[in-house]
Structure 1
Amino acid sequence: MGTVAKKRGSARLRVLVQLLVAVLIAPAALMLAGTATAAAHPYDRFREDWVPAPGGVGHIKVRMWLANNGSNKAVYLLDGLRATNDVSGWEHETNAAWLSDHGVNVIMPVGGESSFYADWYAPNNFTNQPYTYKWESFLTQNLPNHLAARYGIDRSSNAVVGLSMGGNAALILAAHHRDKFRFAGAMSGYLNLSAPGMREAIRIAMLDAGRFNADAMWGPPWDPAWLRHDPLVQAERLRGLPMWISAGSGLPGPHNQPVTPIDYFNTATGMGLEALSLANTRSFEVQLAIMGIGAHYDYPPVGTHSWPYWQDQLWRMLPMLKASIGA
């Protein structure tokens, strides 16, 4: 009986020791597991910086998601005409932050409503704007320098991608700064600003989106600045640059599910805007073909001027984007 009691006591001791070990080790294991899981989530690699900017604005907010593998390659995502000052439409409306799970630093500058991401001549006098937009200088000087110094992101091997207004800007920034960008993506852009009525249409759109004066941006319609910012006119500067150019047909598709009157209004507006973009994009394609300049074009059979379709395009272009910048 004494031997049996000893064995039972020894067994109890072993169980007690195992429980004690479990109590001590389990929290550490859970903490490590939690860290590993968190590291896989883009918002655990999220940063927000206020970057010094020219033009009297002081600083511009930039929200970013660092690549999961420590890559030093990045994509700058440019917003549309109605960009807001809180977060980029790319963050608010899409899952673009998850690109950082694929070895690309995702950079979203915030703000720039109706700016075309250009260096303006003067402040917007219609709203008594106290500073002058200097977005081109910011995106090609201040921001790359900041990202390189703080995060080790390459100054010269990145991608720039935008939709609508941002699509124009992506091509123009890449055209004039080939030392900064190795890939450009333009979704639903207006790529033929010299087409009849386009400059007037841009002027009206800017008034509607924030009461901005196009004269403060590029001067009157005959000013050379309009030609400098017209992707079709600047096509030669895009030769040899990998480009993803897309526009939908304007026909409603699976992402259009209108229910309320405002839904139907927005769908109709998106149909018209996308049809105009498609016409501009086709003109751009023809001009580049005549000049022997290559690009990848994507024309889905359905799609309006709206975020879900741009999100689809962003993921479709990812393999080409990564290959182009070496990510």
Structure 2
Amino acid sequence: MPLAAVIESPPATAAFDPAMFDFWVDSPVMGPIKTRVLRARDGNTQRVAYVLDGMRAQQDLSGWEINTNIAEVLADWNINVVMPVGGESSFYADWAAPSSFFGLAPGAGSAAYGTGSGATEAMGGGPGKSYRYAWEDFLTNHLRWELRNRLGFNPYRNGVFGLSMGGSAALALAAYHPDFFSYAGSYSGYLNISAPGMREAIRAAMLDAGGYNVDSMAPPWGPQWLRMDPFVFAPTLIANNTRMWISAGSGAPMPDDLNIPLGAAADRLVRGAPLEALALANTRAFQVRMLTLGAQNIVWDFPATGLHAWTNWQADAYRMIPDMSANIG
């Protein structure tokens, strides 16, 4: 598997949903952070789902809002939707240091953030470079309680799910904050990040997605890195009795992946098939680990088709939402 294969597809053009609203909360480390919120249709405040983005998370809207209708579907299921915005390449973790290279101060380069090229952005400033990423702290110690204080949202037994980096992050948040999250979903997640070659694969992905340095996130093979690895903290998820939905596609295209212009379909297939194959291998390894430990608290979902693409993740969410609805609040 070539390391470049972990590069995710470019984001689509943003689309704004007027039913949602911006919810700003200050992070002591990262500054003001925007979250997009959509209220449950019935007005309840007890049922809440946190929806995590992928590696190329943008600073304006969540990829879920840009590329899918999942927020609206969740609201129709009477679930309040919380979509943190930003965190490109962050894994929603608390990083060891701001992202930098060669000992140079973050932001020392002249490249502007948002060029779309990791090579040109690596030495520039921007999110996670001009400051240290502290996403776990923000989500669990700041956003959680501001949602309770200002909107009345229940801070206990919430759901959390995400794609790719957001999938492994969802499992980590549930493992270490079991009172906060009773449900976690991973779609096409990298759930065995300490496997041979995976750190370098993640290094390549983070370089491409905004020019981030994996060594700034966590030193190699130390406690901070192992704490992020679902394969390692699997027993904690079992002990917590966290309800989980774990999914990965086969790498074969769905019909909607082909019902687009030929060039776009070819690009999606070339990029999305190897990425999903890597995610599938990671997810299957995690499955073996959990089954070996006797896990009974997981729904395994391995559809016959699905690329590393929003078509797959939207379909994943459609299948998962009824199960999550029954296990939160």
TM-score bin, normalised by smaller chain: 0.7 to 0.9
Q: 2 CA distance for matches of 1:282 and 1:85?
A: 32
Give the deviation of 1:293 after TM superposition: 1.2
Q: Evaluate the alpha carbon distance shift between residue 210 and residue 165 of structure 1 in structure 2; reply closer, same or farther with a 3 A threshold.
A: same
CA contact (8 A) 2:17 2:65 kept: no
Alignment deviations for residues 249-294 of structure 1 (CA, whole Å, 9 cap, x no partner): 0011212115343531231110000011111101100100010112
Letter in structure 2 aligned against 1:189:
G
Q: Which residue of 2 aligns with 1:63?
A: 36
Whose Rg is larger?
Answer: 1
Structure 1 or 2: more helix by fraction = 1
Residue 233 in structure 1 maps to residue 220 in structure 2: no
The correspondence of residues 132-211 of structure 1 with structure 2, limited to 5 A, is 132-211=132-211
Q: Which residue of 2 aligns with 1:116?
A: 91
Q: Which residue of 1 aligns with 2:131?
A: 131
Give the deviation of 1:43 after TM superposition: 5.6
Alignment deviations for residues 192-216 of structure 1 (CA, whole Å, 9 cap, x no partner): 0111101110011101111101111
SS in 2 for 1:232: helix
Q: Which residue of 1 aligns with 2:276?
A: 274
The correspondence of residues 1-327 of structure 1 with structure 2, limited to 5 A, is 45-55=19-29, 57-72=30-45, 73-98=47-72, 99-126=74-101, 128=107, 129-219=129-219, 221-239=220-238, 240-257=241-258, 259-294=261-296, 295-326=298-329
TM-align CA RMSD: 1.5
Unpaired runs of 5+ in structure 1? Answer: 1-41
Letter in structure 2 aligned against 1:93:
N
TM-score by length of 2: 0.83
Q: 2 CA distance for matches of 1:58 and 1:44?
A: 25
Q: 2 CA distance for matches of 1:47 and 1:229?
A: 31
Q: 1 CA distance for matches of 2:19 and 2:209?
A: 33
CA contact (8 A) 2:159 2:184 kept: yes
Q: 2 CA distance for matches of 1:66 and 1:284?
A: 34
- The sequence identity of aligned pairs, in percent, is 51
Q: 1 CA distance for matches of 2:162 and 2:222?
A: 25
Give the deviation of 1:45 after TM superposition: 4.9
Q: Evaluate the alpha carbon distance shift between residue 207 and residue 43 of structure 1 in structure 2; reply closer, same or farther with a 3 A threshold.
A: closer
TM-score by length of 1: 0.84
SS in 1 for 2:255: coil
Stretch of structure 1 that moved more, 305-314 or 120-129: 120-129
Q: 2 CA distance for matches of 1:261 and 1:44?
A: 32
Unpaired runs of 5+ in structure 2? Answer: 1-15, 108-128
Q: 2 CA distance for matches of 1:287 and 1:54?
A: 37
Question: Which structure carries more relative contact order (alpha carbon 8 Å, separation 6+)?
Answer: 2
Q: 2 CA distance for matches of 1:281 and 1:320?
A: 19
Q: Evaluate the alpha carbon distance shift between residue 226 and residue 301 of structure 1 in structure 2; reply closer, same or farther with a 3 A threshold.
A: same
SS in 2 for 1:125: coil
Letter in structure 2 aligned against 1:65:
L
CA contact (8 A) 2:20 2:36 kept: yes
